Amino acid sequence: MSDAPQVQNPAPGATMRRVVRKHHALVRLSHWAHAALLGGLIVTGIAIYWAAPVFTHPRDPRTGSRDHVLDAGLAISRALGEQPANAAWLYDRLSLGTRDLARALRLHWAFAYLYMAVGALYVIGLARGGGGRALLPRPSDPQEALAMLRYYAGLLPMAVLRRPWPHPVIHSKYNALQRAAYFTMPIAGLLAVLSGWAMHKPSQLGWLERAFGSYDGARVVHLVCMLVLGAFVVPHTLLAVADGWDTLRSMVVGWSARVREGDDGRS
């Protein structure tokens, strides 16, 4: 893809900047679809997790319940003063527990197939847009990462003090912190998919199950990947906002105006 025409900042003494294409359309599409699908996978995954028999307890002689989720729902219902108390309070509102295992599994795999399709679109978008090399670590990353940490740490205090706090000069599509995160996330996503298949088809895909050590090993990897992917969302959103409007805009429209003359926005 060719770059858009150069634009001159009219401010006195301003340097020439280029408007450059930053994200391929498939990368942008998969980015936003990934966010929605990840939320669905996490919610349905939690429902499956809590449906495991390990979370039952000996039958309560008063309520007849063996289910911690029913117990919690009953406690909440009583605290809210519902008459008669509703033991299925959490089931009805959050779809958690053994009663919803089948539905949670069906939804989880529906989201999973879409997630894999979106992942394939992301890889195609990286290949067609030439953005794959921008994710690779570089020797300058440690120094650049420290500069970005300093920038993020001082952004709010300097805004309160109304002092200038310029963004560090970045000569590539991503800064070092972004590169480290974006390099890690596809790996975590791939491991989540592979460990999911290892649990789903342990007989047909015995070699894949053994690659994770055992069925339980695949479960551990799957859970850890979910935690990594889920924990990434909040800081990613906050840092994207802190990085400025250009970063957010580029993931919607695909182009950036931050790259200085002579820099490669796709590198």
Q: Buried b / exposed e across 36-62, counting CB within 10 Å, b at 16+?
A: ebbebbbbbbbbbbbbeeeebeeeeee
Tens digits of residue pLDDT in 191-200: 999 999 999 9
Using DSSP, how many helices (H) and how many strands (E) does the chain show? 9, 4
DSSP collapsed to 3 states, 23-78: CCHHHHHHHHHHHHHHHHHHHHHHHHHHCCHHHECCCCCCCCCCEHHHHHHHHHHH
- pLDDT attached to residue 97: 62
d(CA 188, CA 222): 9
- pLDDT attached to residue 20: 67
Centre a 10 Å sphere on the Cβ of residue 230 and count the other Cβ atoms it contains: 14
84 cis-preceded (ω within 30 degrees of 0): yes
Per-residue pLDDT, averaged over 10-26, amounts to: 62
d(CA 214, CA 198): 9
Residue 69 burial (C-beta neighbours within 10 Å; 0-12, 13-18, 19+)? buried
Please list the residues that pair with 181 across neighbouring strands: none
- pLDDT attached to residue 264: 44
Which residue is associated with the tokens 């970005």?
148
Query: Is 97 in contact with 70 (CB distance < 8 Å)?
Result: yes
The string of DSSP letters for 209-258 reads HHHTSSHHHHHHHHHHHHHHHHHHHHHHHHHHHHH-HHHHHHHHHSEES-
- pLDDT attached to residue 1: 40
Question: What's the CA dihedral at 37, 40, 42, 43 to 10 degrees?
Answer: 170
Architecture of domain 22-49+98-254: Up-down Bundle (1.20)
Tens digits of residue pLDDT in 197-237: 999 999 999 999 999 999 989 989 999 999 999 888 888 77
Tens digits of residue pLDDT in 97-113: 666 778 888 999 999 99
Averaged pLDDT of the chain = 80
Q: Which of 176, 92, 95, 166 is nearest to 135 (CA)?
A: 176
* Structural domain spans, the chain: 22-49+98-254, 52-95
Least confident of 134-143, 146-155, 170-179, 229-238: 170-179
